[in-house]
């Protein structure tokens, strides 16, 4: 019997056995993958959330040097470790003037001041920063921005004139000096410095958090109202 005849007799059974082995192995592989898919999905999802939590924590540390409590889908990633509870995002210098003129029995006293103040706007982070991660969107809940601080840079006295019997008192001067930072704060409110802080926070977070989802800020407190007007001098 020739070698070709022997080869043809034994090749088909061997081929069928090999095909059966391959099919069985593929079925086992698919079964194992299906069995472990939920666990692998949870693990991958947890890893993604942990990475996002670390990115958010790092972003707040870089922006404001503090670590607020960040919660992602009911899982806490970072505890507040700094006593600072405010995040100042933007600051701007404001120049204000104040003039006081009072006449009594024909005698006038006059105070004229000009001051420069740096006003800072940002967020009160005593509330938790809550983060909700969805397939197409990341929602970050923060309080509305507000004016956090008004810092004096310089105050100059342009006029301090006493009347003959109507003299400037210490209380007069203290009242006028106290009115200057209120004027600077009112200017900051009128220029929407708090709204600028909200836009800047969103820009900085979007820049630092590299996620596929769209980033959206949701403000959980009412916006700040206009300050009480400063009483005009007479």
pLDDT in tens, 159-199: 999 999 999 999 999 999 999 999 999 999 999 999 999 99
Closest CA to 233 of 182, 165, 164: 182
Beta-bridged to residue 110, according to DSSP, are: 101, 161
Which of 146, 104, 99 has the alpha carbon at shortest distance from 125? 146
Least confident of 34-43, 147-156, 176-185, 203-212: 34-43
Instruction: Spell out where the chain has E strands.
Output: 70-72, 75-78, 86-104, 107-124, 129-134, 137-142, 146-161, 214-219
For residue 158, what are the CA distances in angstroms to 14, 82, 100?
107, 42, 11
Query: How far is it, in rounded angstroms, from Cα 203 to Cα 128?
Result: 20
Check pLDDT > 90 for residue 19: no
Which pLDDT score, from 0 to 100, does residue 136 have? 79
C-alpha dist (Å) from residue 78 to 14, 44, 123: 61, 20, 18
- With pLDDT > 70 as the criterion, what percentage of the chain qualifies? 59
Give the number of other Cβ atoms within 10 Å of residue 102's Cβ: 15
pLDDT tens digit string along 63-86?
655 555 666 666 665 554 444 567
């Amino acid at each position: 019997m020739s070698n070709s005849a022997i080869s043809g007799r034994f090749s088909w059974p061997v081929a069928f056995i090999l095909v059966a082995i391959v099919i069985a192995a593929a079925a086992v592989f698919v079964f194992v993958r299906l069995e472990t898919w939920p666990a692998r999905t949870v693990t991958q999802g947890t890893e993604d959330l942990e990475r996002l939590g670390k990115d958010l924590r790092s972003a707040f540390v870089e922006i404001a040097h503090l670590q607020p409590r960040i919660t992602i889908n009911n899982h806490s990633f970072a505890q507040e470790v700094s006593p600072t509870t405010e995040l100042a995002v933007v600051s701007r210098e404001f120049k204000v003037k104040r003039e006081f003129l009072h006449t009594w029995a024909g005698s006038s006293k006059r105070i004229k001041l000009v001051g420069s103040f740096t006003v800072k706007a940002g967020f009160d982070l005593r509330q938790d920063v809550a983060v909700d991660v969805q397939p197409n969107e990341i929602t970050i809940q923060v309080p509305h921005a507000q004016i956090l601080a008004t810092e004096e840079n310089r105050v100059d006295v342009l006029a301090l004139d006493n009347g003959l019997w109507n003299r400037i008192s210490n209380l007069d001067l203290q009242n006028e000096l106290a009115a200057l930072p209120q004027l600077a704060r009112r200017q900051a409110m009128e220029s929407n410095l708090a709204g600028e802080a909200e836009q800047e926070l969103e820009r900085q977070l979007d820049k630092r958090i590299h996620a596929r989802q769209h980033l959206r800020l949701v403000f959980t407190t009412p916006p700040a109202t206009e300050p009480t007007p400063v009483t005009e001098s007479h």
